[in-house]
């Protein structure tokens, strides 16, 4: 007996709910391993510096994306910097670090730390659109229980209030 067309009679889309647990780890490499260790042990943020154009990459990168030279020098940058872009999220979002729903609203931002030439992405402790703006100064707040295996050893960035 032939089946009816897929459009015949059934219009509701059904959802199959599953919880998928996929734990994994990867080799962070020499440069990011050093970065994570500095966060954990010393609450220091480091970058790598290009020997040619002197750009500082945070987190440290092996080679310069501008002149393709090896970044052989590690340098400490400030734990303070300026927001260069941001978004306030108000829709449900699953935190990829925990697998749990993230508390709403939250602000994710690009931050250019003093002494760095690149941005890092992290959360900001401010969600008020009247306060948030590019150029706003922020400072890293380190986690009390740093593990050395994740960027969340910086808990978030706090707005520097005058
Ligand atoms: Zn360079």
User: pLDDT tens digits for 90-102?
Assistant: 999 998 877 899 9
Mean pLDDT of all residues in 110-123:
98
* 122 strand-pairing partners: 109
Interval between CA 51 and ligand 1 midpoint (Å): 7
pLDDT at 25: 86
Among 53, 62, 65, 69, which Cα is nearest to 35's?
Answer: 62
Lowest mean pLDDT among 1-15, 112-126, 139-153: 1-15
Q: What is the mean pLDDT of residues 22-45?
A: 94
Question: What is the C-alpha separation between 41 and 21, in angstroms, rounded?
Answer: 30
Q: What is the pLDDT of residue 143?
A: 96
Using DSSP's 3-state secondary structure scheme, residue 42 falls into helix
Position 12 scores a pLDDT of: 83
Distance 27 CA to ligand 1 centre (A): 25
The pLDDT assigned to 15 comes to 87
Q: What's the pLDDT at 72?
A: 93
Structure tokens at 72: 């052989």
CA–centroid distance, residue 60 to ligand 1 (Å): 13
pLDDT-based confidence at 20, cuts 50/70/90? confident
The string of pLDDT tens digits covering residues 44-93 is 999 999 999 999 999 999 999 999 999 999 999 999 999 999 999 999 99
What is the CA(79)–ligand 1 centre distance, in A? 23
Residue of 59, 42, 60 whose CA lies nearest to 146: 42
- CA 100 to chain centroid: 17
Neighbours of ion ligand 1 (CB under 5 A): 50, 52-53, 64, 66-67
Q: What is the mean pLDDT of the chain?
A: 92
* pLDDT exceeds 70 at position 1: no
Domain segments of the chain as ranges: 29-159
C-alpha 75 – ligand 1 centre gap (Å): 15
Residue 3 pLDDT > 70, yes or no? no
In this prediction, residue 8 carries a pLDDT of: 63
157 CA from centroid of ligand 1 (Å): 28
Q: Is the pLDDT of residue 106 over 80?
A: yes
């Amino acid at each position: 007996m032939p089946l009816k067309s897929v459009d015949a009679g059934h219009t509701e889309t059904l959802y199959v709910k599953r919880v998928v647990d996929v734990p994994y780890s990867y080799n962070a490499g020499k440069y990011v391993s050093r970065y994570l260790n500095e966060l954990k042990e010393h609450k220091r943020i480091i970058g790598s510096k290009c020997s040619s154009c002197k750009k500082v990459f945070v987190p440290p990168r092996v080679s310069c994306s501008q002149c393709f030279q090896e970044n052989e020098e590690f340098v400490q940058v400030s734990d303070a910097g300026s927001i260069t872009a941001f978004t306030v999220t108000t829709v449900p979002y699953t935190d990829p670090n925990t697998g749990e729903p993230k508390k709403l609203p939250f602000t994710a931002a690009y931050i250019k730390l003093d002494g760095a030439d690149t941005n890092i992405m992290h959360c900001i402790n401010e969600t008020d659109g009247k306060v948030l703006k590019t150029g706003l100064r922020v400072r890293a707040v380190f986690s009390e229980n740093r593990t050395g295996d994740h960027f969340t050893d910086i808990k978030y960035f706090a707005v520097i209030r005058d």
